[in-house]
Structure 1
Amino acid sequence: MSVRTQDSAPEDDLRDRLSAQPGDEPAEESAAARPELPDSRPEPPGERPGLPDSRAAAPGADPEPPDAGPPAPDPRPGPSGAAGGRGAVDVRTLTRVLFERLAELPPDAPERVRVRAALIEINIPLVRYAATRFRSRSEPMEDIVQVGTIGLINAIDRFDPTRGVQFPTYALPTILGEIKRYFRDNVRTMHVPRRLQELWVQVSGAMEELTVTHGRAPKVPEIAANLRIPEEDVRACLDAGRAYNAASLEAAQEHEGGLALLDRLGYEDSALADVEHRDMVRHLLVQLPERERRIIMLRFFANLTQSQISTELGMSQMHVSRLLSRILTRLRSGNSWEE
């Protein structure tokens, strides 16, 4: 067993701890793991005659092993985010040491699973920091952290420590990208085109910039001029940018006096289909001579019979019947009236 002094560096203790085989624990930990027995302290010599002093070494027994020093620090983070045990190790230093150890291990080594799990655990606070940027969304924070952890795992698997880049600098964009992809693909109840989703990022940034510049909320023409895009695209982006959830038509609206949206929608007008027909008939009627136009008005608008029309116009009922038949034939054909 190697003897460590109290002056050993935390990195050396951590490497020894990670390279130790399962079951090879310090003597202090194995002793602490045993259940405490009833009071088994030896009585001082002389109180019970005839019993030897249990603290004295038995003849021929091996001397006690020397003290192995304090145990290695626990690589798992404590409540404050740093490593537990004596001499807390900085998270960045611990991450660097774990990546160095991970690079030394072969791909099929069982210890890689433990080192990778330790990297994930000590960098969870980085995921929580990234998730706070999306706390204004309607999704639970636990779901956002879970999605961000997937990005953290991908960053750990792809990180190359030989490039000289700090791991948080590399991992944070990957975590944010995974969370944004989750909101883009899984949160919206309605499908929004990818072009509008990407344009919404530019529009929201322009709105913040113009709000600071003008001291008020910007108008659609101002946003369009700032981004050099059509106003129709800005309006479509504003409508679809925050459309994450669909509202129920039967849900009551508090600001509308408790009325549901379905109660405030317009009804279908049964006479709406006759508007086009009325316009066409009006166009044909103006082409009729005065007498024939009056016959049509008396028959279909005043609801007079042929006998009443003949009395009104001073002609026979047979003549009125022939004129009506001729007029209706012309109107149905859509041709203009010919003398």
Structure 2
Amino acid sequence: MGFVLQTLATRAGTDNIWPDPADRRAATAQLLERASLVDGPARREIEELVVELNVEVARDVARRYRGRGIDQDDLEQVACLGLVKAVRRFEADKGRDFLSFAVPTIRGELRRHFRDRGWMVRPPRSIQEMQASINGAEEQLVQDLGRSPRPREIAAHLGVDLDLVVEALGASGCFVPSSLDAPLSPGEAAELGQTLGTHEFGFEAAEARAALGPVLATLTDRERLILELRFGQGRTQAEIGAEIGVTQMQVSRLLTATLAKLRLAMESAA
């Protein structure tokens, strides 16, 4: 315990007592073992030191979530809160490595923060509730497994379908939409918006022509002429009547009969 006692004695001396991660990991393990043997203020004293030793880990996890619409200082505060929770919940007697439990706990705290405050496009409530369940399950499974659980293991623990877990995990990035003016990659002139598809009316027109071609071939020359004058050239019924030598009323009846004939032929073809 000499190493731990020396650590406690030099607590206020520097912000980075052990720059070497291996030393920090060993000291953390010793401190947590010692904390499991005491209660009250003595335990809190040791837990606070564990937090100070591992605060850079929390900040590193928080940095992975930057650029998603929440201030970095806020993310670091939330990550530190997750670290404190991990220290207080960690069960040293299970023989697990502390960071394998702390990192998922910190990530879970950050995800909760985004779920509650960071959504630009809010997913269905069922997905939000599943994310909350997943966060709780991850903390328990990390303790049991000694590593981050796989989606299948989370689904089995919660007794839900794997697809629901995968969907909830996939929705964890819906925080800030990408700008359509953003380049596809740094230095490129092409923008994201240029890759999006647009509605192409030409396809519909081509499909309609392909379907109508055989049907139009069944019409008489007079019926095809009336359709061309009405829909191709935009003539009025009176103008069509004058063109083919019939009254406006007769043009109306001919159009109605021709369109009904076309409709029936299309339905039969379908």
TM-score by length of 1: 0.41
Max Rg structure: 1
| Structure number having the greater helix percentage | 2
Higher relative contact order (CA 8 A, sep 6+): 2
TM-score normalized with structure 2 length = 0.48
